[in-house]
Amino acid sequence: MAGKGITIEANALDETLERWLLELDFRDILKRNPTEIIPVAESLWRISAGPVAAERSSPHYYAALIDGVALMSSKTYGATRDNPLRLKIGKDAFFVDTGMPMPQGCDCVAPLDGSQLCTLEEVEITETIAPWQDVRPLGEDMAAREVILQKNQRINPFDVAALYTGGILEIEVVKKLKVGILPIGSGLIPAGQVPTVGQNVEITSQILKNLAKTWGAQTVVYDIVAENQEAISAKIDEILCETELLCVIAGPSRGTELIADYLQEKGELFSWGLKVKPGMSACTGAVKCCPVIGLPGYFSSSFIVFDLFAKPVIQRKMGAKIPERKTVRAYLSQNLKSTDGAVEFIRTNLGNVDNIPVAVPISRGADALMSLVRADGIIKIEADRSEIKAGEIVNIDLLRPDGDIRTKIMLAGTYDICFDLLRDKLLEQFDDLSLVMSNMGSMKGLAALGAGYCHIASVHLFDDESGEYNTPIIRRLFRDMPLIAINCFHRHLGFMVPKGNPKKIKNLFDLTRPDIKIINRFRGAGTRLVFDYHLRENQIDINQINGYSNEVHTHMTVAHAVSSGSADVGMGIAPAAKASGLDFIPLIKERLDLVIPKKFLNSYPVKSFMKILNSKEFKEEAGNLDGYDFGSTGTIIYEK
C-alpha cells in the first residue's frame, strides 16, 4: 500500500503496454519530434526527416572503364586484323587510363590488346568497337535528383558516403529524444567512487543510458536522489521541463511506491504493478505531458521494463523503427517453471551440442548483473505457461550479434571456482572458444549429458553402497553410451564458519547443539549427498539439526548465508569461505570428475578444453587455490 491510498496491482503486460501507449497518444505525446539541420559529418545513425535527393550525378562525367584508346565507335566498323584501321593520335584516337574523362567526340574505348602503335603519330585498331563499350556513363552510380535516403531512414556509414557523393553537405534530421534517468537510493554512490560497508555503486543508470543511446536517443543521468518523498518530488519537479521521457530508478527500501505516489499527486498514474518477472513493481504515468516510467531498482528488472516501455516511445518519437533483435530457436536443456499468469524473461546461454542448438538458462536473480553480461539471449515464457519442459524448442531473442556467440563448450553439473580459471585459460589460447558452465548439480548434469544437452558433465557423487565417488553411479546410468570419466581435481569439503569460529564448531555432532543454525545444499547436490551419508554413518538425527531444511544451490550462497549471520555454519569448499571472509574447517576429501562422451573427444572444442586442463600453466595456477589437489588431474578414472 502506498502512502497516497493506492495499491500495487498485478496488471497484465499486454494490457498495461497498450494503455501506456494509448494514454500517451491521447495526450499527443507520441507525435514525431521536430527536425533540425545538421552537417552530414554528424549524421551517422540519425533519422532522416524526409527524402534526400542527389544534387549531382556520380560519376558526373563520362569516364574510361579500362586502360586503352578512346575513339568514335562509328570509325571502327569493318576493322579486323586483316583490314586494320589507322587513326591519328590526338585527333581521332586518345590514350586514356581507367577513370579518366572521355575526350570530346569519343564514345568507346578500344582495349590495348586490340590496338597497337604503328608510328609515333598513328594507332592501329584491329576490331570493331561497339558504342559506349568500356565507357562508364554519367550518372551510372547515382543520377542527379535520384533519391539517396527515404524518410525516417536510420543513416549508416554507407549512407553518409552516398550523401557526400551526391553533393549533400547538410541534412535535415529528426531531433533526438531527450531521455532523463533519475536514480533513487540513500545508500547508492556514483560509479568511480569506492563504496564503504552498506553502500553500493549505482550502475543501473549506465545500462539504461547506453541502451537508449543505441536506440538513437539523447540521455541525461541525474545525480542520485535520497529515498524520501520530499527529495524525489523536488527533483522530478526540477527536471521535468528538461526531458521528453523520464525514467526513475526505484530505491532499495520502498521500491517504486514513492514514484507511484508522485505520479498520483502531481500527474496521472496509469499503472502500478506488472505481471512480469523480473519487473513486477514497475509503474507508468505522465506529468505535464512528460511520460514517466518507474523502474524497479535491480539491474535485470530495470532492463526488462525499460526495453518494454521506453523503446516504443523512443521509436515513435524518433519516427524510425528500432531494429528488432534477431531470434533463434534451440532445445531447452532443463525444465523451467514460471509464475502462473506472469510473463517471465529468462536469461540464457546458447551452445551447439552435436550440431543441435541448445539453450541453457542461467541465473534468474534480478540483481545478478553478470547473468546479463554472460547471457546470449532471453527466453520469454508467456503468461499462460507455468512450465517449459527440457527438450522443448524455445525462441531466444539474442542480446548480442551472431558473430559474438562463440563456439561454446557446454559443461553442466557441479560448479567450481576452478572452472572460471579454465575458462580464462581457454580464452587466452583459443579466442574463438568459450566455456559455458550450467550450475545444476551433479545428477542433473549427468541427466543433461545423457539427453545430449552438454559436452561435459562435472560430477562429485558419493555412492553410499560402495563408498566410492562417481564411478558406480556413472556405470549405472550410462550402460550403453561410450564415454570416459577424467579426474579434474580432489578438494576438501568442510565447514564454513565466521572468522574466529565464535561458536567453536569442530565436527558434525556440534550441529545438533540448540545454539547452532545451519544452511544446507539442495537435494541431489554432491555436497548434500556426502553430508547426508556422514550424518547417517554417525547416527545423527537430522531433526535435531536446526536449519537442515534450509536449502540453497551454490557454495557461494552458503558462504553468503554464513557471512550475513543468517546461519552459523554451512558445508562448502575453501575458496567460497575465503572469498566471503570466513574460516574453513576441512572435514572430507572428495573427488570431482569430468564425464565426456567419446564422440566428442576428437572435436575441436573438447580437444582444446582437454589441452588446457592438462597444461602445466593451468595446474600451476590452480595449485594456488586453497583446499585443492591437482595431482591426478587429467587421469582417466573410468572408460566404457
CA distance 311 to 299: 17
Whether 546 and 517 have beta carbons less than 8 Å apart is answered as: yes
E strand residue ranges, 29-112:
35-39, 52-53, 63-64, 68-71, 85-88, 94-96, 108-111
Whether 305 and 204 have beta carbons less than 8 Å apart is answered as: no
Residue 456: half-sphere exposure toward Cβ, Cα within 13 Å: 26
Q: How many residues does the chain have?
A: 640
Q: Is the confidence at residue 623, as pLDDT, over 90? A: no
Q: Is the confidence at residue 598, as pLDDT, over 60? A: yes
Q: Which of 479, 483, 473 is nearest to 640 (CA)?
A: 483
Whether 300 and 373 have beta carbons less than 8 Å apart is answered as: no
Partner residues linked to 149 by β-bridges:
52
CA distance 542 to 511: 9
What pLDDT is stored for residue 1 in this prediction? 38
pLDDT tens-digit readout, 496-546: 999 999 999 999 999 999 999 999 998 877 788 889 988 998 999 999 999
Burial 361-395 (b: 16+ CB within 10 A, else e): bbbbebebbebbebbbbbbbbebeeeebeeeeebe
CA distance 223 to 228: 15
- Mean pLDDT for all residues in the chain: 91
What pLDDT is stored for residue 415 in this prediction? 83
What pLDDT is stored for residue 339 in this prediction? 76
Q: Which residue has the higher pLDDT, 18 or 434?
A: 18
Question: Domain 13-32+177-318 carries which CATH code?
Answer: 3.40.980.10
Burial 320-330 (b: 16+ CB within 10 A, else e): beeeeeeebeb
- 417-426 average pLDDT score: 91
- 430-456 average pLDDT score: 89
pTM of the model: 0.79
Ramachandran angles phi, psi of 337, nearest 5°: -95, 150
Ramachandran angles phi, psi of 478, nearest 5°: -120, 75
Helix (H, G, I), strand (E, B) or coil at 326: coil
CA distance 575 to 147: 64
CA distance 41 to 173: 13
Q: Return the percentage of the chain with pLDDT > 70, whole number.
A: 97
With cut-offs at 50, 70 and 90, classify the pLDDT of residue 10: confident
- 401-430 average pLDDT score: 84
Q: What is the largest CA-CA distance in the chain?
A: 117
Q: Which of 414, 424, 429 is nearest to 607 (CA)?
A: 429
Ramachandran angles phi, psi of 101, nearest 5°: -60, 145
pLDDT tens-digit readout, 217-231: 999 999 999 999 999
Q: Which fold has domain 471-639?
A: D-Maltodextrin-Binding Protein; domain 2 (3.40.190)
What pLDDT is stored for residue 364 in this prediction? 62
Least confident of 5-9, 158-162, 287-291, 328-332: 5-9
Q: Which fold has domain 325-405?
A: Beta-clip (2.40.340)
What pLDDT is stored for residue 187 in this prediction? 84
Query: CA 439, 441, 447: angle at the middle one, nearest 5?
Result: 105
CA distance 586 to 575: 12
What pLDDT is stored for residue 335 in this prediction? 87
Who's near 324: CB < 8 A, 6+ residues apart?
none
What CATH number matches the domain at 35-58+141-174, 2.40.50.140, 3.90.105.10, 3.40.640.10, 3.40.710.10?
3.90.105.10
Torsion angle of C-alpha atoms 521, 526, 527, 531, degrees rounded to 10: 100
Helix axes 299-318, 13-26, angle to 10 degrees: 40
- The DSSP line for 367-411 is T-HHHHHH--EEEEEPTT-SEE-TT-EEEEEESS-GGGS-EEEEE
CA distance 640 to 638: 7
Query: What's the chain's Rg over C-alpha atoms?
Result: 34
Torsion angle of C-alpha atoms 442, 444, 448, 449, degrees rounded to 10: 30
What pLDDT is stored for residue 365 in this prediction? 58
What pLDDT is stored for residue 430 in this prediction? 92
Reply yes or no: is the peptide bond before residue 361 cis, omega within 30 of 0: no
Whether 593 and 460 have beta carbons less than 8 Å apart is answered as: yes
Q: Is the confidence at residue 356, as pLDDT, over 80? A: yes
Q: Is the confidence at residue 405, as pLDDT, over 80? A: no
Question: What percentage of the chain's residues is helix, strand, coil (to nearest 5)?
Answer: 30, 30, 40
pLDDT tens-digit readout, 248-281: 999 888 889 999 999 999 999 999 999 999 999 9
Give the CA distances from residue 348 to residues 11, 108, 373, 378, in Å, rounded to whole numbers and listed in that order. 26, 61, 11, 6
State the cell numbers at 265: 499527486
Q: Which of 74, 90, 75, 80 is nearest to 115 (CA)?
A: 80
Q: Is the confidence at residue 599, as pLDDT, over 60? A: yes
Q: Which of 392, 441, 386 is nearest to 413 (CA)?
A: 441
- 167-192 average pLDDT score: 93
CA distance 376 to 214: 18
What pLDDT is stored for residue 21 in this prediction? 96
Q: Is the confidence at residue 4, as pLDDT, over 80? A: no
State the cell numbers at 20: 501506456
CA distance 23 to 285: 9
Q: Is the confidence at residue 406, as pLDDT, over 80? A: no
* Domain residue extents for the chain: 13-32+177-318, 35-58+141-174, 63-136, 325-405, 471-639
Q: Which fold has domain 63-136?
A: Molybdopterin biosynthesis moeA protein; domain 3 (2.170.190)
- 471-482 average pLDDT score: 93
- The DSSP line for 193-251 is SPP-TT-EEE-HHHHHHHHHHHTT-EEEEPPPB-SSHHHHHHHHHHHGGG-SEEEEEPB
